[in-house]
């Protein structure tokens, strides 16, 4: 499956996020962003050259490339997900890039609101 030909509007949305939105949030110009495409998800990677041991590389978040159900949880094409690890996304979407409902900041997709939390 070639994701770049099957989901051109999604690839454009991811490119806009990585090349325009995230760099605008980074006022110190510390981070660089790139994308690695897999079968189910696009992994957005953030890199910096600062630090005592040189650069660091981490996963900023994931974007679902297709409509699917994983572990009983449905995802829509364009859903934005936090990273659970370097190779896997967290379970629940934090909005959708194509629908304009994605919530994120410089450091990754937003945390889910927890109405049970009193603090």
pLDDT at 7: 54
pLDDT tens string 26-78: 877 778 888 999 999 999 999 887 666 667 889 999 999 999 999 999 999 99
Q: How confident is the model at residue 23 (pLDDT cuts 50, 70, 90)?
A: confident
* pTM (global) more than 0.85: no
pLDDT tens string 10-21: 888 888 888 888
DSSP string over 12-64: HHHHHIIIIIHHHH-TT--EEEEEEE-SSEEEEEEEE--STTS-EEEEEEEEE
Phi, psi of 40 (to 5 degrees): -105, -30
Q: How confident is the model at residue 84 (pLDDT cuts 50, 70, 90)?
A: very high
What is the average pLDDT across 94-107?
90
Is residue 2 predicted with pLDDT exceeding 50?
Answer: no
Checking phi first, is residue 51 left (phi over 0); if not, alpha (psi -120 to 50) or beta?
A: left
A 10 A CB-CB count for 80 gives 26
């Amino acid at each position: 499956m070639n994701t770049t030909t099957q989901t051109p509007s999604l690839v454009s949305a991811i490119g806009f996020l990585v090349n325009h939105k995230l760099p605008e949030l980074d006022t110190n110009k510390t981070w660089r962003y790139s994308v690695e495409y897999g079968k189910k998800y696009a992994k957005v990677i953030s890199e910096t050259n600062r630090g005592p041991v040189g650069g660091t590389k981490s996963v900023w978040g994931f974007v679902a490339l297709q409509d699917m159900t994983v572990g009983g949880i449905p995802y829509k094409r364009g859903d934005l997900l936090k990273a659970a690890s370097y190779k896997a996304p967290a379970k629940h979407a934090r909005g959708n890039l194509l629908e304009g409902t994605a919530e994120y900041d410089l450091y990754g997709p937003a945390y889910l609101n927890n109405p049970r939390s009193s603090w």
